[in-house]
Amino acid sequence: MSPTVKPKVLHPDIETNAVGLTRRDYEGAMSTLCAGCGHDSVTAALVQSFFELNIEPHRAMKLSGIGCSGKTPTYLMQDAHGFNGVHGRMPALATGANAARSDLVCIGVSGDGDSLSIGLGQFCHAIRRNVNMLYVLENNGVYGLTKGQFSASADVGSKSKRGDVNTQEPIDPILLALSLGATFVGRSFSGDKAHLLPLIKAAVSHNGFAFLDVISPCVTFNNHEGSTKSYLYTRERYMDVAPVDFVPMKDEITADVEEGALTIVPMHDGSLVRFKQVGPDWDPTDAAAAWTRYRELSRDGAVVTGLLYLSESGDDYHGRNGTVDTPLVEVPFEELCPGSEALSNLMDRYR
């Protein structure tokens, strides 16, 4: 079925942002996902975040793989170039797009089948390269489009809709990302937009690979009793260990920075990430400690969320590569081609 275009009727008093756009300008086609799908809530949070971040949609690139998550870019920022590639290979496309256009905001949306099974290698290596992008994993523990098989993030003991019990150990993307040296690791829940918004904004401001694992229940195939990725299961075990506020760059000077136990991390673009409350046993700047504590809490049955780890000290792919500041697509040909004289001189070396 073709996606439906939303009619654009605007309220005369509708709010506009700093680049003169309304929230509606950040929307895309009408969703064709199931009613109540967690992914649509993620879309809504992305739309709101980009609106509030004042991103010009055409200065963004949105990419995805295959699966229900792969449809998400269609539903947001219709004035941004989009690329719905092949299954599990969005990280490679994003790496190439970012290599060419370091100046554009790069947004990747993936799923647990896409990132943890068929594209596990791609996911890992995008982390290693520290590609400057927002990487959202819409995690529901199940294959939707093929009707209900377990994915690699399904927990041991989780029951499928038709009654099978998963016996294979899950791949936890948070533990994986932390162990691979990811520079921004956050976790949230599609059912909690207020929690998700500052995480998305901080992730976009991060200079490097910003990973967000979002528990996003599948209402059709994985929202029943016995599922460990249902709305109910997630709500009951929700444990927010490192919730944050995001203070955009333009507000930084006037930001009311509270004293006390708050950890404040300045982002590459001048924005601030302010941890609202961090438990005494959680240090979001210590990846090893975060890995250990997250694992302990998860084993005890908690759905741990928050900005679990953040490092603003390293370089992204281009910083490490030493790429020129000008996006490579905009470097004039004259600065790329050495010309006939250089070739003639070079030829003498092959005599």
Contact residues toward another protein (CB under 8 A) are 1-3, 56-61, 63, 73-74, 78-86, 89, 91-101, 103-104, 121-122, 124-125, 129, 317-318, 321-325, 327-329, 331, 333, 335-340, 342-344, 346-347, 350-351
Give me the least distance between CB of 215 and another protein, in Å please: 27
If the CB atoms of residues 38 and 57 are measured against another protein, the closer one turns out to be 57
Between CA 211 and CA 135 the distance in angstroms is 5
Angle at alpha carbon of residue 136, lines to 132 and 140, rounded to 5°: 160
- The CB-of-4 to another protein minimum distance in angstroms stands at 11
Rg (CA), the chain: 21
Going by C-beta distance under 8 Å and a sequence separation of 6 or more, which residues neighbour residue 263? 274, 275, 278, 284, 285
- Cβ at position 347, least distance to another protein in Å: 5
Q: State in angstroms the smallest separation of the CB of 88 from another protein.
A: 9
For residues 65 and 28, give the distance between their C-alpha atoms in angstroms, rounded to a whole number: 18
1, HSE (Cβ side, Cα atoms, 13 Å): 8
Closest CA to 25 of 33, 37, 15: 15
Nearer to another protein, 279 or 338 (CB): 338
Nearer to another protein, 5 or 165 (CB): 5
Q: Compare residues 62 and 274 and give the one whose CB is closer to another protein.
A: 62
CB of 3 to another protein, least distance (A): 6
Question: Are residues 150 and 158 in contact, defined by beta-carbon separation less than 8 angstroms?
Answer: yes
**229 conformational bin, left if phi > 0, alpha if psi -120 to 50, beta if neither:** alpha
Cα 306–chain centre separation: 14
Could you tell me the two tokens for 25? 């300008």
What is the C-alpha separation between 173 and 212, in angstroms, rounded?
A: 9
Q: Return all residues near 135 (Cβ < 8 A) that are at least 6 apart.
A: 91, 94, 108, 110, 123, 126, 209, 210, 211, 212
User: Toward another protein, which CB reaches closer, 51 or 317?
Assistant: 317
Nearer to another protein, 83 or 238 (CB): 83
Residue number with CB closer to another protein (180 or 262) = 180
Q: How far apart are CA 199 and CA 211, in angstroms?
A: 10
Calculate ∠ Cα 232-236-239, nearest 5°.
130
Least Å distance between CB 31 and another protein?
Answer: 13
18/331 with CB nearer another protein: 331
Q: C-beta of 103: minimal distance to another protein in Å?
A: 7
Give me the residues paired with residue 266 across strands.
Answer: 272
**In the bound complex, what is the minimum distance in angstroms from residue 294's beta carbon to another protein?**
26
Tokens coding 282: 């959680």
